[in-house]
């Protein structure tokens, strides 16, 4: 995922844009952050191409409510109805 500082207008408000890839599926959307409380709200969708859909990954990202950085990685903390709380680690290396 690429979290950009570019703005996108969606649902009647300005948000920060994001893009990425899940397997061969392109993903796009937006996010909002509260840097003081390290809270995050993410909304995105992935294309559904023949390589399959990574629904667990999409669910983890879109239910993220908190974030932190450690060792150059972005940690997103999320909740699921089946497993409860969890987190996903995204590498933040620059292209």
Mean pLDDT on 23-36: 83
Distance in angstroms (rounded) separating the CA atoms of residues 45 and 38 = 23
**Ordered alpha helix ranges (H), 1-95:** 55-62
Domains detected in the chain: 2-91 (2.40.128.270)
Report pLDDT digits (tens) over 39-66. Answer: 888 888 777 665 655 566 677 777 788 8
User: What is the chain's mean pLDDT, rounded?
Assistant: 78
Query: Which H or E element spans position 55?
Result: helix 55-62
Mean pLDDT on 17-31: 81
Note the pLDDT of residue 50.
57
Note the pLDDT of residue 51.
61
Note the pLDDT of residue 24.
74
């Amino acid at each position: 995922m690429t979290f950009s500082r570019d703005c996108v207008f969606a649902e009647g408000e300005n948000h920060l844009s994001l893009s990425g890839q899940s397997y061969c599926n392109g993903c796009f959307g937006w996010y909002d952050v509260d840097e003081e409380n390290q809270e995050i709200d993410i909304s995105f969708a992935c294309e559904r191409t023949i390589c399959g859909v990574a629904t667990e990954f999409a669910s983890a990202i879109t239910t993220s409510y908190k974030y932190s950085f450690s060792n150059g990685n972005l940690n997103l903390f999320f909740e699921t109805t089946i497993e409860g709380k969890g987190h996903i680690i995204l590498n933040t290396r620059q292209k």
